[in-house]
Amino acid sequence: MPDALHPDSLQDEAAIRRLMDLYGSGVDERAWDSWARIFDDPLETDFSQMNAAIAPATLSRDRHVAGARAVIGQFEATQHMITNIQVTLDGDRAQARAVMRAEHWIGGIRGNSRYTMFGVYENGFRRTPGGWVISRLTLRLSREEGNLDVWSEAVRRAQAASA
């Protein structure tokens, strides 16, 4: 394992932290083309704690981005806050654990239009000739607040739009 204070290690850690930042800002800004470039192809995902109907999977980058775009695109706004990023380097692989809070707002529903999730991202990374990419996305939820129907409504609208 490299020395954590070695300049190469510091550059690698900074690149991985930047990917975590781009993960949140890419979704919030709906910058789908640039957001797609932060992922490996294929990509392992595990959002099963958010929704038991979403089984862990290995998806193509395009399929992952298209699915996220369809659902997230239904929200009026989102805000993903990712902090306390802890990076562990292991050659051309890395792991990062980060605390997250994600706000989601949707219009046209009864009751509160906001849904908030709190938890931890436990992501994997791979160094490629073009730089680091996210190879595994895992969300571990610790708490949810607001209207839990907000997320279901976004999924429903995405499915209706694709029919």
CATH number of domain containing 121: 3.10.450.50
In the predicted model, residues of the chain with pLDDT beneath 50 are 1-2
Mapped onto helix, strand or coil, the DSSP state of residue 74 is: coil
Q: What is the pLDDT of residue 1?
A: 44
pLDDT of residue 55: 87
For residue 33, report the phi and psi dihedrals to the nearest 5 degrees: -65, -45
What pLDDT is recorded for position 3?
Answer: 52
Is 26 within the bounds of a domain?
A: yes
1 is a domain residue: no
Task: Tally the domains of the chain.
Answer: 1
pLDDT of 6: 59
> How far apart are the C-alpha atoms of 115 and 155, rounded to whole Å?
13
Query: Considering the domain boundaries, does residue 2 fall inside one?
Result: no
For helices 149-162 and 61-72, give the axis angle rounded to 10 degrees.
Answer: 110
69 located within any domain: yes
Residues spanned by the domain of 105: 7-158
Domain-embedded: residue 163? no
pLDDT at 9: 85
Q: Exposed e or buried b for every residue in 121-152, given b needs 16+ CB within 10 A?
A: bebbbebeeeebbbbbbbbebeeeebbebbbe
